[in-house]
Structure 1
Amino acid sequence: MKVQLQEEYEMAKGAIVVGAGPVGLMLAGELRLGGVDVVVYDKLPAPSGESRGVGFTRRAAEVFDQRGLLDRFGDVEWAQGHFGGVRIDFGKLADNHFSVRGIPQFRTEEILEDWLKQLGVQVKRQHEVTGYRQTPDGVVVEYQGPDGYGEEHAAYLVGCDGARSLIRRLAGIDFIGWNATRGMYMADLVGAGVRQRPIGEKTPDGMVMAFNLENGVDRIVIHDENLRPPEDKSSLKFTEIADAWQRMTGESVHDAEVRWISSFTDTTRQAEHYRSGRIFLVGDATHIHMPAGAQGMSVGVQDAVNLGWKLAATLAGWAPDGLLDTFESERHPVGEKLMRNTRAQTKLYLTGDEMEPLRSVMRELVELPDVARQLAGMVSGLDVRYDMGEQAGEHPLLGLRLDPSRGLRLPDGDHCRVADMLHAARGVVLVTPAAADATRIRSTAAEWTDRVDLVTADWAADGDTPAPDGPQALLLRPDGHVAWAAPDGVDRLRSALERWFGTAVGGVPVV
């Protein structure tokens, strides 16, 4: 049955997001926080319950924290890291690079979907997008739903529909990269009783990994140079995985209860562009690679947080010229670095004894703090620095994320953290009592108070102990990255506000 359409599309959405994985759900929440009328389409009748991902990087954890979501995961296990199997002692680094382990992807999806329900965002299950056409003022999305064919109009369409993205293909965007050269198998087992190998172990024929997923469920992962993942995953048999595991470890898992099996390869590709007119791509639709350090979903979540406030600003009418273009200019290079580091880790981790001299050199190099920090930052996501422009100044924090766990003491004596200031996904101007030109800074920020929060607070460590190492004043974008910081002057603050938050609407002077 064909659904009758309204000629004028009076109830047009601000944005339609395709794909109800973690990335699509996160983007929808970001858009709703920005005041956008958004809906999520997903072709499955219900969440799959499968979990290729089982955790997320430090920066992804910080992003969830910035929106008040991290506590919803409960007590999490903070995991030690590595680069291609070469251990990095995170405890020796000044910044906290520890990732989160043991959170199945379906749990992340449950938490994000509950968040969307609280925000009033609808997730339309069993709605498979089949096509779209761009119009002068938006996009008409075609879909097959429970009642048959339908269409819905929106100002923008975002494809968060994974590695085989239909939206990317329909947009004619090339997916450039390298074909598979090797593969890995994995299985989630109950009662396996395997020895834990959380970052993997080399074997004569490849690599094996084992770790507890949740409630007695173990995940085993195998890279066996004698096996190739089948082109059709449905033909994969657990006996193949169990036989390989026993051959490589001497442990039998044949009698374990099997929850799920899958396979994947080192195929590495990146979308040539992340945008085509009113169409955007986010997450696996833009980049795929061999899993290494829980980076895939984590980078996708950061893609979503980068795009969300910019798209919301555009729909609200206050976005400065070129703001939407910075999504690709900022995130495409991050994707390029992701491709490079995962390919490097694959070579380091999964090749044979011929790579052992390089592994030995890497073990020595990671004992150097600068090397350890560089490699850890690649995997954790804490090394991302955006170009804030020459007009923003020269502060060393410019473009970097501000640690959301940093403590603040408010004028009334209460305490909060940087993350607490970002829950609403708005810009923040933070001014400390010691800031030079504090009155001018506050007066300038007051002109943007419809989209930027003005906060007066002092840096604090434990309790009321001052922490004087923080900037006396700064501007944060909604994604938590520093766009301006004192002692660069108020004129530079105004330039930064105009660049990221558009034309001032005026405000009440602060005296």
Structure 2
Amino acid sequence: MRHMKNADVVIVGAGPTGLMLAGELSLAGVRPLVLERHPHRRDTPKAGGLGGQILELLRYRGLLERFQAACTGPVPAPRFPFGGVHLDFTRMADPPLHALPLPQQSLERLLDERAGELGVDVRRGHEVTGVSQDDTAVTVDVRGPDGPYQVNARYLVGCDGARSGIRDRAGIPFPGVTYPEVNRLAQVTLSDEVTVLDNGDLDVPGFGTVRAGFTRTDRGLLGVGSSPGARSVSLYTIEDESTEYDDDVPMTLTELQDSIHRVLGAHLPLAGSTRLSRFTFKAHQAERYRAGRILLAGDAAHLFPATGVALNAGLLDAVNLAWKLAAELHGRAPGGLLDTYHDERHLAGARTMLHTRAQVALRRGHDEAAEALREVFSELLADEQPLRRMGALVAGTDIRHPMPGSGHHPLAGTFAPDLTLHTDRGITGVAGLLHPARPVLLDLAGRADLREAARDWKDRVDIHTAKTDRRPADALLIRPDAHIAWAAPVDEPAGTAVPALREALSTWFGTP
């Protein structure tokens, strides 16, 4: 072994989750080392965008505009596939689910640039060949371009994807199922031979009308996402198939056309493509996200049998984990804080697994009973309340983290609302207070007693005073991941509020 290096945290995998974690750790004053076995950023098309709660989190970090500027196409209408039907929010002024069309290659580039700006050491072409741990450290064997070496770190996080070697080396079970189907997703330009009708349907020569939405045959499913008059459309096929594809071998336009022909029984003329991706569906979740000093995040921790949710879940894993891991490394974490990463994100992953497995049931049925189920489900989605509920479920915004103790304010454990705040320096929002990724005590009622109670934590908690219209609480204690750790009911007496605040501060941010 050539030599030994030291790091606070080793992150294995420079995909979106690993890079997001590295950036968040850097904001918290931690030195992460990112090891990636591939020598360059990969350009194989994978996810086509971001959606759900992570968009709000990026806004709370001041990053959303930067990500929006990198989009190559228009933001789509709020209409999302769900197991062979659609969640259509186009009639809502405030839809509960949004998406940002940002190919994964562009997302990784942006996160890589941000990591570089924060001084993160990202080493590509460095493969982990062995891992061992004891009560104080993790030792990582690495094979790099210049030969083998070792890294000694206090913690290691596996962000190395579905076939995670870190998960295997940590002995963490990964139970679940793989469904015998292959999915192909593309953004294509139609040939001039195809006519896009006023309602978005396609008139295909030699076949007739292919309607917008889903067409189901006994050979599979074809999805068409189009706008009247537009030549660029989204196409999606599902076929039962047991072929094992190499994720690093990109899909071709010919492969897509062959799949459409098999499903539809007709040729759909295409002129070109801007995105082509292929994937299989798996439903797996690690039994635990932590084994000693080794933790898992992203696809290493969970695989969901539906599109549009994996990146949201993985990036939220990273944000939840980073501040807790930083507190451990800085020596100010209260007992059990790091274990709440598993408690909270495993629960969130199970919630995502619930609706993606429900999508499998909706999507894969071919008999009359399955058709009836889809029809009834679509009728329910015509009403606003169930549609909003499903949108929140897919977005991951319906999660309320479990809070220790009892008698909590209804806001405790939820994502902090972006209240409009009136301060001495002008008008701002809650989102602006969380750009540095630090805890915040937000006094909304001029409660000097609460600000004084938090003074002992001022080295680790930012204290702000503001006013807001229709305040939901007298004060909010907000974690770095934008979730509310504690809230004071309006006009709660000091004798009750002060001890409760000090207990919450100790529970989440340690003894002052």
Query: How high is the TM-score relative to the length of structure 1?
Result: 0.87
Kindly tell me: are residues 318 and 235 of structure 1, through their superposed partners in 2, closer, same or farther at Cα, counting changes over 3 Å? Answer: closer
Q: C-alpha distance in 2, partners of 1:410/1:192?
A: 57
Please list, as runs of the form range in 1=range in 2, the aligned pairs for 1:362-373 lying within 5 A after superposition.
362-373=377-388
Q: C-alpha distance in 2, partners of 1:398/1:131?
A: 41
1:495 and 2:503 correspond: yes
In structure 1, the residue corresponding to 2:457 is in which secondary structure?
coil
Mapped contact 1:239–1:254 kept (Cα < 8 A): no
Q: C-alpha distance in 1, partners of 2:329/2:89?
A: 41
Kindly tell me: are residues 95 and 174 of structure 1, through their superposed partners in 2, closer, same or farther at Cα, counting changes over 3 Å? Answer: farther
**Bigger mean CA deviation after superposition, 395-404 or 268-277:** 395-404
Mapped contact 1:142–1:149 kept (Cα < 8 A): yes
RMSD: 2.8
Please list, as runs of the form range in 1=range in 2, the aligned pairs for 1:358-507 lying within 5 A after superposition.
358-391=373-406, 393-404=407-418, 406-412=419-425, 414-432=426-444, 434-435=445-446, 438-459=447-468, 467-487=469-489, 489-504=497-512
Deviations 1:404-449 (A, max 9, x none): 3x3212123x1212111111111111112x35xx011111122111
Mapped contact 1:85–1:199 kept (Cα < 8 A): no
Q: C-alpha distance in 2, partners of 1:183/1:317?
A: 47
**Bigger mean CA deviation after superposition, 345-354 or 372-381:** 345-354
Name the amino acid aligned to 1:134: Q
1:186 and 2:180 correspond: no
Quote the residue 1:508 is aligned against. Answer: none
Deviations 1:298-319 (A, max 9, x none): 0011111110000000001100
Quote the residue 1:463 is aligned against. Answer: none
Please list, as runs of the form range in 1=range in 2, the aligned pairs for 1:101-250 lying within 5 A after superposition.
101-187=100-186, 189=188, 200-205=213-218, 206-210=220-224, 219-225=234-240, 227-232=241-246, 234=249, 238-246=253-261, 248=263
C-alpha displacement at 1:372, in angstroms?
A: 2.3
In structure 1, the residue corresponding to 2:435 is in which secondary structure?
coil
Deviations 1:463-508 (A, max 9, x none): xxxx21432211101111111112152221111111100012xxxx
Name the amino acid aligned to 1:131: G
Name the amino acid aligned to 1:44: H
Q: C-alpha distance in 2, partners of 1:389/1:310?
A: 16
Mapped contact 1:181–1:267 kept (Cα < 8 A): no
Deviations 1:117-143 (A, max 9, x none): 111112111111111111342111111
Q: C-alpha distance in 2, partners of 1:114/1:154?
A: 24
Q: C-alpha distance in 2, partners of 1:192/1:314?
A: 57
Mapped contact 1:264–1:290 kept (Cα < 8 A): no
Q: C-alpha distance in 2, partners of 1:32/1:159?
A: 17
1:38 and 2:32 correspond: yes
C-alpha displacement at 1:161, in angstroms?
A: 0.3
Kindly tell me: are residues 254 and 128 of structure 1, through their superposed partners in 2, closer, same or farther at Cα, counting changes over 3 Å? Answer: farther
Query: How high is the TM-score relative to the length of structure 2?
Result: 0.87
Deviations 1:327-364 (A, max 9, x none): 00111111112222111112213432431111122122
Quote the residue 1:303 is aligned against. Answer: 317
Q: C-alpha distance in 1, partners of 2:501/2:91?
A: 35
C-alpha displacement at 1:202, in angstroms?
A: 2.7
C-alpha displacement at 1:248, in angstroms?
A: 4.2
1:319 and 2:328 correspond: no
Name the amino acid aligned to 2:449: R
C-alpha displacement at 1:365, in angstroms?
A: 2.1
C-alpha displacement at 1:221, in angstroms?
A: 2.1
Q: C-alpha distance in 2, partners of 1:387/1:94?
A: 31
In structure 1, the residue corresponding to 2:454 is in which secondary structure?
helix
Name the amino acid aligned to 1:20: A
Kindly tell me: are residues 144 and 190 of structure 1, through their superposed partners in 2, closer, same or farther at Cα, counting changes over 3 Å? Answer: farther
Kindly tell me: are residues 429 and 403 of structure 1, through their superposed partners in 2, closer, same or farther at Cα, counting changes over 3 Å? Answer: same
C-alpha displacement at 1:190, in angstroms?
A: 5.5
Mapped contact 2:97–2:391 kept (Cα < 8 A): no
Percent identity, please.
40
In structure 1, the residue corresponding to 2:111 is in which secondary structure?
helix
Quote the residue 2:3 is aligned against. Answer: 5
Kindly tell me: are residues 290 and 256 of structure 1, through their superposed partners in 2, closer, same or farther at Cα, counting changes over 3 Å? Answer: farther
In structure 2, the residue corresponding to 1:182 is in which secondary structure?
strand
Residue from 333, 342, 365 that aligns with 1:351: 365
Q: C-alpha distance in 2, partners of 1:403/1:383?
A: 13
Kindly tell me: are residues 358 and 106 of structure 1, through their superposed partners in 2, closer, same or farther at Cα, counting changes over 3 Å? Answer: same
C-alpha displacement at 1:249, in angstroms?
A: 5.0
Mapped contact 1:430–1:474 kept (Cα < 8 A): yes
In structure 1, the residue corresponding to 2:501 is in which secondary structure?
helix
In structure 2, the residue corresponding to 1:425 is in which secondary structure?
coil
Q: C-alpha distance in 2, partners of 1:45/1:210?
A: 36
Residue from 353, 374, 377 that aligns with 1:339: 353
In structure 1, the residue corresponding to 2:342 is in which secondary structure?
helix
Mapped contact 2:159–2:299 kept (Cα < 8 A): yes
Q: C-alpha distance in 1, partners of 2:246/2:12?
A: 24
Q: C-alpha distance in 2, partners of 1:162/1:256?
A: 34
Quote the residue 1:270 is aligned against. Answer: 285
Q: C-alpha distance in 2, partners of 1:480/1:235?
A: 37
Deviations 1:10-32 (A, max 9, x none): xx211010111111111011111
- Stretches of structure 1 that go unaligned for 5 or more consecutive residues are 460-466, 505-511
Q: C-alpha distance in 2, partners of 1:49/1:498?
A: 45
Quote the residue 2:22 is aligned against. Answer: 28
Kindly tell me: are residues 87 and 209 of structure 1, through their superposed partners in 2, closer, same or farther at Cα, counting changes over 3 Å? Answer: closer
Kindly tell me: are residues 301 and 394 of structure 1, through their superposed partners in 2, closer, same or farther at Cα, counting changes over 3 Å? Answer: same
Mapped contact 2:188–2:274 kept (Cα < 8 A): yes
Name the amino acid aligned to 2:120: V
Q: C-alpha distance in 2, partners of 1:63/1:451?
A: 20
Q: C-alpha distance in 2, partners of 1:192/1:430?
A: 56
Mapped contact 2:224–2:233 kept (Cα < 8 A): yes
Kindly tell me: are residues 457 and 235 of structure 1, through their superposed partners in 2, closer, same or farther at Cα, counting changes over 3 Å? Answer: closer
Name the amino acid aligned to 2:136: D
- Stretches of structure 2 that go unaligned for 5 or more consecutive residues are 202-210
Q: C-alpha distance in 1, partners of 2:183/2:295?
A: 31
Q: C-alpha distance in 2, partners of 1:100/1:191?
A: 24
In structure 2, the residue corresponding to 1:458 is in which secondary structure?
coil
C-alpha displacement at 1:80, in angstroms?
A: 2.8
